[in-house]
Amino acid sequence: GYLKAGKPICEKIKETPEITFSEEEVIIKPELCREKEEIEKEKEAKSLEIYETVTSFAPEVLEERTQENTLEDKVSHIRLKLDVPVGQISTIARIVNFLGNKFSECKIEITINVRDGEIGVLEYQDKIKEALTQSGIKILEEEKE
């Protein structure tokens, strides 16, 4: 792969790349590229799903709601602190995509808190931190024991 704008970009997976020894070249684990591709495909599918859900409302109901809307019953700022069950992150992604189309600024902060188990230090660095780094996700706080 290559570094573009400080982010690794997967170029050739399971292919023999032409090595030029340029500064932009990086070696990326194939699993991380596949995970990123699968996440992008899932995001696209979920965006389409929420679009279809939103556009499937009956036009007359939307028209009635639009006519009823006044400046008083509009929301201009939303802040939600959520306790999300494992497996429901895709629901949050759909909501965020929808809100992103309605608001010019949409910031998401996520806290991951795991207990009663173990992970090796190298596995944590290779699987968790590397995936976050390659996805351009900044770690604001990190605590580990």
Residues 129-143, mean pLDDT to the nearest whole number = 89
Could you tell me the pLDDT band of residue 57, with boundaries at 50, 70 and 90?
very low
Predicted confidence (pLDDT) at residue 100 exceeds the cutoff of 70: yes
- The amino acid that residue 28 corresponds to is I
**Four-point Cα dihedral 106, 79, 88, 129, nearest 10:** 60
**Four-point Cα dihedral 118, 112, 40, 49, nearest 10:** 120
Best CA proximity match to 47, nearest among 107, 90, 1: 90
Residue bearing the bigger pLDDT, 2 or 47? 2
3-state secondary structure (DSSP) of residue 46: helix
Could you tell me the pLDDT band of residue 70, with boundaries at 50, 70 and 90?
low
Percent of the chain at pLDDT > 90 equals 12
CA distances from 87 to 12, 84, 92 (A): 30, 8, 10
Residues 91-118, mean pLDDT to the nearest whole number = 89
Predicted confidence (pLDDT) at residue 83 exceeds the cutoff of 70: yes
